[in-house]
């Protein structure tokens, strides 16, 4: 039976899963969506634009899968959402070219990281608790250093298997919104753990444990600090094609 390629924009609560990518014996976003498809007698591998770690959320992750032509798109979206509810939600489902690849066709991606000085058990899975004053001018300058094309090898998880560690960051920002500190980074692509390692580095600069010169040195190939900020404050925000 001939099939159509469908593109879905999805959001999910990453605190309920062991990450995006399917893993044996673990509850993952990819695994849950493929399971939902099988309930509708659709057997297809789900491809995704980016692998998010356990506990990391998405506002607009992009996936693709094959579907028989007889499925009407709106009905399929509603049927999948009923099965996936409440922690995964398909925001938009549409036809895509047969050769569409959500990972390799992406032009740029944005992430945001949320930090709160106020602890609440109700938001603990969704923001990172950090009870210290933020030096916004200092961290804005730190983020400006990251802009441009760099080798981010020492800002990637150990064991990352990639052809190149070079990535380009187009835009950065840090600002206060209500009681939250929001860090935003837009780039052509990101390595595993890159945003979380950057955020940890920034917070150490904020505490005067590390300096702007340390940040420049690590970008230039000297390992200074390589630790992951907690996953719960990280959101895959948007992907452009």
pLDDT, one tens digit per residue, over 92-105 is 999 999 999 999 99
* DSSP state letter for 51: P
Which CATH number does 108-240 carry?
3.30.70.660
pLDDT tens figures, 220-231: 999 999 999 999
Residue 154: pLDDT over 80:
yes
The mean per-residue pLDDT over the stretch 127-137 comes to 98
pLDDT given for residue 64 in this prediction: 98
Contact between 181 and 174 (Cβ < 8 Å): yes
Q: Is 111 assigned a ligand-binding role in the annotation?
A: yes
Mean pLDDT, to the nearest integer, of 118-142?
Answer: 98
Q: How confident is the model at residue 239 (pLDDT cuts 50, 70, 90)?
A: very high
**Which of 123, 130, 132, 236 lies closest to 184 in space, CA to CA?**
236
Rounded to an integer, what distance in angstroms lies between the CA atom of residue 103 and that of residue 83?
25
Say whether 53 is catalytic: yes
* 44, 233 contact by CB (below 8 A): no
Mean pLDDT of the chain: 96
- Judge if 3-96 and 108-240 fold alike in CATH terms: yes
Q: Residues 178-196: what's their mean pLDDT?
A: 97
Local confidence band at 66 (pLDDT 50, 70, 90 cut-offs):
very high
In whole angstroms, what is the distance from residue 115 CA to residue 179 CA?
Answer: 9
As given in the structure block, the two tokens for residue 49 are 């634009």
Q: Which CATH class is domain 3-96?
A: alpha beta
For residues 167 and 152, give the distance between their C-alpha atoms in angstroms, rounded to a whole number. Answer: 7
The domain ranges of the chain are: 3-96, 108-240
Residue 161 banded pLDDT, cuts 50, 70, 90: confident
Q: Is the pLDDT of residue 175 over 70?
A: yes
Q: What is the pLDDT of residue 98?
A: 94
Q: Are 86 and 226 in contact (CB under 8 A)?
A: no
Flag whether the pTM goes above 0.85. Answer: yes
Note the pLDDT tens digit of each residue in 9-51: 999 999 999 999 999 999 999 999 999 999 999 999 999 999 9
pLDDT band at 1 (very low <50, low <70, confident <90, very high): low
């Amino acid at each position: 039976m001939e099939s159509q390629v469908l593109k879905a924009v999805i959001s999910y609560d990453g605190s309920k899963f062991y990450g995006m990518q399917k893993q044996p014996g673990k509850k993952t976003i990819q695994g849950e969506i493929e399971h939902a498809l099988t309930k509708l007698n659709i057997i297809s591998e789900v491809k995704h634009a980016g692998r998010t770690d356990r506990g990391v959320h998405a506002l607009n992750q992009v996936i693709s899968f094959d579907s028989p032509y007889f499925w009407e798109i709106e009905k399929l979206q509603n049927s999948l959402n009923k099965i996936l509810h409440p922690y995964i939600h398909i925001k938009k489902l549409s036809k895509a070219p047969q050769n569409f690849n959500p990972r390799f066709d992406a032009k740029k991606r944005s992430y945001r990281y949320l930090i709160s000085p106020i602890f609440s058990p109700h938001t603990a899975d969704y923001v990172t608790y950090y009870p210290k004053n933020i030096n916004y001018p200092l961290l804005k300058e730190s983020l400006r250093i990251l802009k441009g094309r760099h080798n981010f090898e020492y800002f990637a998880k150990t064991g990352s298997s990639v052809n190149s560690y070079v990535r380009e960051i187009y835009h950065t920002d840090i600002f206060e919104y209500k009681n939250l500190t929001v860090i935003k980074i837009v780039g052509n692509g990101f390595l595993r753990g890159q945003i979380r390692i950057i955020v940890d580095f920034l917070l150490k600069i904020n505490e005067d444990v590390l300096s702007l010169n340390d940040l420049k040195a690590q970008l230039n190939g000297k390992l200074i600090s390589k630790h992951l900020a907690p996953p719960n404050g990280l959101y895959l925000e948007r992907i452009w094609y």
